[in-house]
């Protein structure tokens, strides 16, 4: 992001803080403080792609979040959402895809600081070592995590979870058998590999067009504890805790605005996992 856009975002953040403080006090008094779930992809210092955070930027973001939020697991986040009452700023850290570079600095930092993390891996790429197709399309071949890395992370307290078998758009998958393979069979194989339950699912891309009522229904029926989208939005107490809306962490200026409930996006239409599958407020 350009320096002038960063400046404008910082000015907007600081200029709207009095309003945010008043709103936050009211939300806390009413037990209506939302849960913010963030997602990252890759942390490395080569600057490849908008999905990559540098190690220093990631550390700064974690420092900022840790000073202002209860950083909790997805399980605890769901408990606070399901209770219908939350009085404390709450955030979760998640990662998508499964990049090997994350194990160099970012994941050890979270483990050292005992910050919960849910780590969604695309099982085919972990098994095969093949780069992700969205990287190849951009001329970059970031390496996925190895099986040994995910086993080590799981043993260290990182919750390893499912990002389907392939990083494909399941919104376009009409074959029920293929949907079962992507969501259920791949999950079962990942569980067998790490020797731990795989409780959560994040659908690749995670935008409205990539989500379907069939995928939600299958995830519920097959025993997942929750399904994560990635189109933005906050999880308010009393929302359906199975569907966890997430926000991209992005740069620090955007993170500050989004994590403290940007007034412009305080209400994002939720995907409704009915046969219609349309966003609803």
DSSP secondary structure, 194-241, as one string: HTS---EEE-SS-SGGG--HHHHHHHHHTT-SEEE--S---B-TTS-T
Helix (H) or strand (E) holding 135: helix 133-136
Residue 261: its pLDDT value, please? Answer: 93
Residue with tokens 């483990």: 111
Q: What is the mean pLDDT of the chain?
A: 94
First and final C-alpha spacing in the chain = 30
Helix (H) or strand (E) holding 53: strand 52-53
The domains of the chain are located at 3-261
pTM of the shown model: 0.95
**Three state DSSP letters for 233-262:** CCECCCCCCCEECCEECCCHHHHHHHHCCC
Does pLDDT of 47 surpass 80?
no
- Is the Cβ–Cβ distance between 161 and 201 less than 8 Å? yes
Write down the H helix ranges in the chain.
3-15, 17-30, 55-68, 74-83, 106-112, 123-128, 133-136, 147-155, 176-180, 186-194, 213-221, 252-259
Domain 3-261 matching CATH 3.20.20.100: the answer reads no
More confident residue, 275 or 110: 110
DSSP 181: I
- Is the Cβ–Cβ distance between 221 and 253 less than 8 Å? no
Lowest-confidence pick of 148-157, 176-185, 252-261, 270-279: 270-279
Bridge partners for 90 per DSSP: 35, 70
Residue 281: its pLDDT value, please? Answer: 43
Across 111-125, average pLDDT: 98
Lowest-confidence pick of 1-10, 13-22, 224-233: 1-10
Q: Are strands 279-280 and 270-271 parallel, antiparallel or unpaired?
A: antiparallel
Residue 138: its pLDDT value, please? Answer: 85
Residue with tokens 């099982």: 123
């Amino acid at each position: 992001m350009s320096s002038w856009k960063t400046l404008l975002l910082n000015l907007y953040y600081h200029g709207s803080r009095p309003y945010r403080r008043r709103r936050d006090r009211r939300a806390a008094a009413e037990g209506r403080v939302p849960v913010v779930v963030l997602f990252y992809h890759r942390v490395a210092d080569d600057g490849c792609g908008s999905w990559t955070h540098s190690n220093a930027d990631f550390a700064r973001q974690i420092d900022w979040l840790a000073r202002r939020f209860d950083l909790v697991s997805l399980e605890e986040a769901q408990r606070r959402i399901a209770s219908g009452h939350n009085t404390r700023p709450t955030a979760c850290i998640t990662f998508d895809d499964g990049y090997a570079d994350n194990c160099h600095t970012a994941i050890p930092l979270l483990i050292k600081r005992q910050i919960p993390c849910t780590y969604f891996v695309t099982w085919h790429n972990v098994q095969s070592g093949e780069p992700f197709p969205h990287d190849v399309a951009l001329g970059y071949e970031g390496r996925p995590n190895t099986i040994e890395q995910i086993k080590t992370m799981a043993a260290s307290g990182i919750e390893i979870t499912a990002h389907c078998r392939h990083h494909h758009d399941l919104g376009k998958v009409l074959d029920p058998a293929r949907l079962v393979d992507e969501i259920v069979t791949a999950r079962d194989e990942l569980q067998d590999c790490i020797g731990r339950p795989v409780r959560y699912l994040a659908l690749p891309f995670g935008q409205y067009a990539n989500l379907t009522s069939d995928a939600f229904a299958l995830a519920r029926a097959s025993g997942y504890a929750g399904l994560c989208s990635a189109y933005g939005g906050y999880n308010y107490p009393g929302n359906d805790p199975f569907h966890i809306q997430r926000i991209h962490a992005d740069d620090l200026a955007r993170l500050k605005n989004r994590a403290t409930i940007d007034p412009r996006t305080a209400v994002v239409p939720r995907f409704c996992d009915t046969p219609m599958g349309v966003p609803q407020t």
